Amino acid sequence: MYRWISCRNIVERIHGTDKRFGGKYIVDPYQKCDLCCVYCDAAEDIIYIKHNAAEILINEIERIKRGTVILGSATDPYQKIEKREGLAREVLKVLTEKGFPVHILTKSSLVERDIDIIKSGDVRVTISFSTMDENISRIIEPEAPAPERRLKTVEKLSEEGIKVGVAVFPLIPYISDVNIERDVERFRDAGASYLIYEYLELKGYVREKFFGKMKEFAPDIYEKLKELYQDSYKPKGYKVDDKIIKACKKVGLRLGYG
């Protein structure tokens, strides 16, 4: 279900600079997300559409110093409703016309629609994946484009000369890292120039939702994850950093936003 709301502010200032994505500001044209990933607290039944986002942004941007804007931090700017509403496109247009660097974070191939605007400014795009396994993706990211389709988006953006990278985000133990060497190579071959990752955190109702899905559709992985997250919201003692560092180094993919 969608609801239209009027926002009074649209730019959120980050204290300092965001270390993961390198931004000073965040703009989210939607509140909550219709891509329904089971590990995410933005996946809700009611999505709020900030219909006046671009209008508010035009005024607000005059009062802030130039700095990178992260488009899509708490929610995906290219979620399904964007196809109809076009708010991310409007916002992106304002930001590029005003000369603000932009970092788009998305799981959606819909970002390809805005290549014309992306190319007109200082814009980079990070496409996120938690797995390249289509079957698992359908369970945990039911409404997001299939991983192979996302990979094609990386390829398309790269061919257009756009700075593009990937985020293994969240990195789900026993899922995201099982074929990480091969996946990293495929990301590089598609044209990604960097990789960002962050381990899955499970809190509150998201924890129940995620475990419920895993128990139903992947009981073997569920048992292992349950143990790992038994008394922590982080995967206690599970570290694959060396594996990722090695894999990236091997294929020449830069680790981290830079």
- Terminal Cα distance for the chain, rounded: 38
Name the phi and psi angles at 205, rounded to 5: -70, -20
Contact 72, 28 (CB under 8 A): yes
| Interface residues toward ligand SF4, by CB under 6 A | 33, 35-37, 40, 42-43, 75-76, 79, 107, 144
Distance of CA 221 to the CA centre of its chain: 23
CB of 251 to ligand SF4, least distance (A): 26
CB of 167 to ligand SF4, least distance (A): 10
Closest by CA position to 106, among listed 68, 62, 66, 153: 153
CB of 40 to ligand SF4, least distance (A): 3
CB of 184 to ligand SF4, least distance (A): 21
Cβ closest to ligand SF4, residue 205 vs residue 220: 205
- Number of other CB atoms surrounding residue 36 within 10 Å: 17
CB of 253 to ligand SF4, least distance (A): 22
CB of 7 to ligand SF4, least distance (A): 18
Cβ closest to ligand SF4, residue 68 vs residue 79: 79
Cβ closest to ligand SF4, residue 41 vs residue 160: 41
Cβ closest to ligand SF4, residue 206 vs residue 248: 206
Work out the angle at residue 258's Cα, subtended by the Cα atoms of residues 37 and 157, and round it to the nearest 5 degrees.
60
Cβ closest to ligand SF4, residue 90 vs residue 143: 143
Contact 110, 155 (CB under 8 A): no
Beta strand 30-31 with 47-50 is: antiparallel
The rounded distance, in Å, linking the Cα atoms of 136 and 94 is 37
Cβ closest to ligand SF4, residue 61 vs residue 140: 140
Cβ closest to ligand SF4, residue 126 vs residue 188: 126
CB of 130 to ligand SF4, least distance (A): 8
